Structure 1
């Protein structure tokens, strides 16, 4: 099995930003299509038109928000890699907390603290799950 490696740090930011934009565009498109379909007047053609209108109106904004989140996360992650001189799970946990806090700065200190906690918790869960799955699959390969 090939080893998964990420792009080196300056290009990682662009790569993650683009990946997050794409994820937001696809996910936003799916959710907005459902929302537009449900909120449109009755009749299949009106519902499909409402679905398409909702996708065109909201999906680019959602994708842009995802791109900002991904770009900021990767920028902080690369800065931590440069400062700490090591690449470990703590970088992504700290980056998630910092990104959540920075993006909520306009809403005040309580919102910053809450968003930082959510960002930290999210990346802590991702790293924990990643380690568990990694151990499971390496053990099953050796059997």
Structure 2
């Protein structure tokens, strides 16, 4: 996912920053893909691995699997990966990671509730028994 997303982003960036001329722009696009996409893919893999490790550890420690595990994992991952940049950057990245994962979990819960409503059984519709003997076509069986 990181490789594909990074490849698309870097191809556009390389195309825009290359000298004029279609062939030069395509070469610049490919050069940017080869140069930066592996780095983006590696960073994405590190983030995903750390997030999953913290998430699984929280599930094991807390003995429950709920949205709080993902929110805490996102905050912890953001903070740990920004630790080399100092405490303010670490706190900011932890906050952003927690908020981002809270939004993702909230949207997931919303879609789950919306889709669950369509699968609830509907009460059957019965005809009124007092109306069974009457017909509106003019014919009567009296």
TM range (shorter): 0.7 to 0.9
Structure 2: tracts of 5 or more residues without a match: 123-142
TM-aligned CA deviation for residue 141 of structure 1: 2.8
Structure 1: tracts of 5 or more residues without a match: 1-22
Aligned pair count reads 121
1:33-72 mapped onto 2 (5 Å cutoff): 33-72=11-50
Match of 2:64 in 1: 86
TM-aligned CA deviation for residue 55 of structure 1: 0.2
Displaced runs of 4+ in structure 1, greater than 4 A?
none
C-alpha offsets along residues 117-142 of structure 1, whole Å, 9 cap, x if unaligned? Answer: 00000010011100100000111233
Computing the radius of gyration over CA atoms, which structure comes out larger, 1 or 2? 2
Superposition CA RMSD, Å = 0.9
By relative contact order (CA 8 Å, sep 6+), the higher-ranking structure is 1
C-alpha offsets along residues 105-128 of structure 1, whole Å, 9 cap, x if unaligned? Answer: 001111111000000000100111
TM-score by length of 1: 0.82
TM-score by length of 2: 0.83
- The structure in which a higher percent of residues are helix is 1
Match of 1:4 in 2: none
TM-aligned CA deviation for residue 43 of structure 1: 1.1
- Looking at structure 2, the residues matched to 107 and 44 of structure 1 have their Cα atoms a distance apart, in angstroms, of 40
